[in-house]
Structure 1
Amino acid sequence: MALGLDRDALLFEFPDIHRDAVLRVEFQRTLRVPDDGKRHRLPPGFGRFPLRAVDDLDPARVPGDWIKRGGVAMPMWQAEACWLSFSSPNGYPFLLKVAAGKVNAVNGKPWDNAPDFADQDHVEVPGQPWLDGFCVSKGVVRQFVAMPLGAGYTAEEQVAGKAEHGGVQLLAHPIKAAIWEERRAAREAAICPVPFDALAIPLPPPAAAPAMAMGLAPGGSIVQEIARPREKPDAWDLLARSRCFVHLANSLAWRAITGEAPPTVPPTAADYARAGLPWFEWYADQPAKEGSSILAALKSVFALGAEKGETPLPENESFDPPEPIRLGPAAKERLDGRW
């Protein structure tokens, strides 16, 4: 197993399993949708967040727990949003677990290295092209929004009652090589049609320093399905796994940590919508997972801020979204277009 960086993307590689076993994970900068009681469509990506290997940073400039956990570091502004993009360049299937502050983003349970097949705690790639937030109900997620640890807003603090980990945790298992080889042989012999895992899925176009540790908190609601698994549990090679801890640093501290300027603050969702720029809608071709009761019980940043008498979300202006651009294998072509 190998874990690497390629142009600010994480690469989970399993050359000992199969040469095709490569998983790519990107953290996309995006608009923070308003937390206004509406269900918003998928916001665009504005390019990848910069990722830096912790081992390459000056140990005197980073917290001690970063050194212990390894992984990578990434800057986010307070109240900035992100989404995760998943792809397998060769179509090789992966089981991927995603957590924030060691709270599983799919089922809300505490982190466990072992997959939970009874209460789905993972996504399958290909099949799930991205993840924008915490799965709170069937077809709805609450957007990932960065908040400082210790302020009480993160999912970790609301579920576990403490600010201990922060960041994002990822764990990947590849499918068994024998299964992949069987599918490749069948496809090459034209015995079966192209399977779902060979579909090309388009992405929305991109349009111990004073480091403040950050975690992810639930923001506004986004229409997004978490696909139910297609693979059988025994299809996965559970002896082969790779993990990565993604540390989130407040962008104000990024220069002190890395010597680099952080990315600029993205535009507001309302300004983006007023400019007539596109939103997206994903049409899946498989059943969606029910939401997590644990995650559904979390208070959004806006709601919790109101209880505290605080305004943690600047520029939370609501707006009327335009007709979304439809993506996905189940999307229907529309002959009339937009007038």
Structure 2
Amino acid sequence: MIILEDDCLEFRFPDVHAAARCTIGFQRTLRIPDDGRDYPLPPGLGVFPLRHLDDYAARLPETWRRRGGVIAPMHQAEALWIDFASNYPFAVKVATGKICAITGDAWVERLNRDPQDYAVLPDQPWLDGYCVEKGTIRQFVAMPLGQGYTVEEQLTGAAVHGGLQFVAYPMKAERYEALQAEQGEFGDHVVYSATFAEEAPMGLAPGGRMKQDVYDDPYGLDAWDQRHGSRCFVSLLNTTQWMATTGERPPTEPPTAQSYAAGGLPWFEYYGGDLQAVDGSEKLRGLASVARHAEATGQAPLPDNGTFGVPPIVVLGKPRRVRESARDAR
């Protein structure tokens, strides 16, 4: 079952094991410059609000009503990172516009090992973007469908789905119990006149480059209980659509990366110890970033996209997994 609590998705599998639960949240963050440099991890600026789609079904497209899930607001060109939390091992597939964020392949619910198309929790504490190379991702950036920016459009030539898709599979109970016996318990770890149809829905596009590993599965495909999985869509609305649909104001736009860095606030790196990283996707590596697509099509360049110097970096590891918000100085 999936529960929406504190603006996060909680996946629970009591039929597998009492401890089989994980949480997925969506952190607002700084959009890093799309300038070819590899940047460290930006901060979390608080979670995006999530609402049950069914509560607003009458105001949303029929295709959205059929797939269900939750809705979230994003400003155009705003970035996000996915925050995973679990004390129980999970294999989680992440897609945008039904394109796998790790391999660039079309969405399928089953797990694939060669190449690995899922993240392993709790080893993977977060995912900030598309895995383009070993140790490098391109940041998730929200852009309207229909303008050619999104990964979905670049790989399929169509602007159909948008949003994000997830499926979570818990570790088999017997494997978890065996691991517990060997290692001990896992841890660390307002009414507006606009209508929805006036503007295109949002998808995710590749932004600037960032240093981040997507970790290889240390357990093997047989460890995951693929008989028990839960799937959820996260549909993205722009700010006008969000207000028209929910009557709520969306969060204000986040500060720019330049202003954040100029204030001397921290950036982050994560040290995964002896965990191995996957190689990254050639399909995703060859896509045009938001800045490159705008340049190639003669569209307005992204604002606040200039290179800047990053202040000292805070290194996080397994004993300290939390990317604190800028408000809390991380």
**What is the CA–CA distance in structure 2 between the aligned matches of 1:176 and 1:230, rounded to whole Å?**
14
**What is the CA–CA distance in structure 1 between the aligned matches of 2:296 and 2:103, rounded to whole Å?**
26
**Counterparts of 1:139-178 in structure 2 under 5 Å?**
139-178=135-174
Aligned counterpart, 1:205: none
Aligned counterpart, 2:11: 12
C-alpha distance after superposition, 1:116-169 (max 9, x if no partner): 112100010000000000000010000000000001000000001110100000
SS at structure 2 position matched to 1:282: strand
Aligned counterpart, 2:283: 294
Kindly state the Cα deviation for residue 255 of structure 1 after the two structures are TM-superposed: 0.9
**What is the CA–CA distance in structure 2 between the aligned matches of 1:219 and 1:18, rounded to whole Å?**
39
**What is the CA–CA distance in structure 2 between the aligned matches of 1:193 and 1:291, rounded to whole Å?**
30
**What is the CA–CA distance in structure 1 between the aligned matches of 2:128 and 2:76, rounded to whole Å?**
17
Q: What's the Cα RMSD here? A: 1.4
Aligned counterpart, 1:278: 266
Kindly state the Cα deviation for residue 95 of structure 1 after the two structures are TM-superposed: 0.4
**Counterparts of 1:65-84 in structure 2 under 5 Å?**
65-84=63-82
SS at structure 2 position matched to 1:98: strand
Alignment-mate amino acid for residue 100 of structure 1: T
**Structure 1 stretch 14-23 or stretch 146-155: which is displaced more?**
14-23
Pick one of 209, 234, 237 that aligns with 2:225: 237
Q: Is the 8 A contact 2:216 2:278 kept in 1?
A: yes
Aligned counterpart, 1:97: 93
Kindly state the Cα deviation for residue 313 of structure 1 after the two structures are TM-superposed: 1.7
Q: Is the 8 A contact 1:167 1:245 kept in 2?
A: yes
**What is the CA–CA distance in structure 1 between the aligned matches of 2:319 and 2:136, rounded to whole Å?**
18
**What is the CA–CA distance in structure 2 between the aligned matches of 1:233 and 1:330, rounded to whole Å?**
27
Pick one of 106, 117, 122 that aligns with 2:118: 122
Aligned counterpart, 1:326: 315
Aligned counterpart, 2:255: 267
Alignment-mate amino acid for residue 251 of structure 2: P
Alignment-mate amino acid for residue 246 of structure 1: V
Q: Is the 8 A contact 2:8 2:50 kept in 1?
A: yes
Give the 4+ runs in structure 1 shifted more than 6 A.
Answer: none
Q: Is the 8 A contact 1:43 1:280 kept in 2?
A: yes
User: What is the TM-score when the length of structure 2 is the normalising length?
Assistant: 0.92
**What is the CA–CA distance in structure 1 between the aligned matches of 2:111 and 2:220, rounded to whole Å?**
12
SS at structure 2 position matched to 1:45: coil
**Structure 1 segments unaligned to the other structure (5+ residues):** 187-191, 202-207, 332-339
SS at structure 2 position matched to 1:244: strand
Q: Is the 8 A contact 2:188 2:319 kept in 1?
A: no
* Amino-acid identity (%): 49
Kindly state the Cα deviation for residue 8 of structure 1 after the two structures are TM-superposed: 0.2
**What is the CA–CA distance in structure 1 between the aligned matches of 2:164 and 2:132, rounded to whole Å?**
18
Alignment-mate amino acid for residue 37 of structure 1: G
Q: Is the 8 A contact 1:212 1:253 kept in 2?
A: no
Alignment-mate amino acid for residue 209 of structure 2: S
The answer to whether residue 36 in structure 2 is matched with residue 37 in structure 1 is: yes
SS at structure 1 position matched to 2:45: strand
Total equivalences in the alignment: 313
**What is the CA–CA distance in structure 1 between the aligned matches of 2:172 and 2:73, rounded to whole Å?**
35
User: What is the TM-score when the length of structure 1 is the normalising length?
Assistant: 0.90
**What is the CA–CA distance in structure 1 between the aligned matches of 2:42 and 2:184, rounded to whole Å?**
29
**Structure 2 segments unaligned to the other structure (5+ residues):** 190-194, 321-330
Aligned counterpart, 2:209: 221
**What is the CA–CA distance in structure 1 between the aligned matches of 2:236 and 2:208, rounded to whole Å?**
20
Q: Is the 8 A contact 2:90 2:121 kept in 1?
A: yes
Q: Is the 8 A contact 1:154 1:216 kept in 2?
A: yes
Q: Is the 8 A contact 1:133 1:142 kept in 2?
A: yes
The answer to whether residue 307 in structure 2 is matched with residue 307 in structure 1 is: no
SS at structure 2 position matched to 1:48: coil
Kindly state the Cα deviation for residue 66 of structure 1 after the two structures are TM-superposed: 1.1
SS at structure 1 position matched to 2:58: helix
Kindly state the Cα deviation for residue 273 of structure 1 after the two structures are TM-superposed: 0.1
Alignment-mate amino acid for residue 39 of structure 1: D
The answer to whether residue 104 in structure 2 is matched with residue 108 in structure 1 is: yes
Kindly state the Cα deviation for residue 249 of structure 1 after the two structures are TM-superposed: 0.5
Alignment-mate amino acid for residue 86 of structure 1: F
Q: Is the 8 A contact 1:283 1:327 kept in 2?
A: yes
SS at structure 2 position matched to 1:221: strand
**What is the CA–CA distance in structure 2 between the aligned matches of 1:312 and 1:4, rounded to whole Å?**
39
C-alpha distance after superposition, 1:269-292 (max 9, x if no partner): 000000000000011121111010
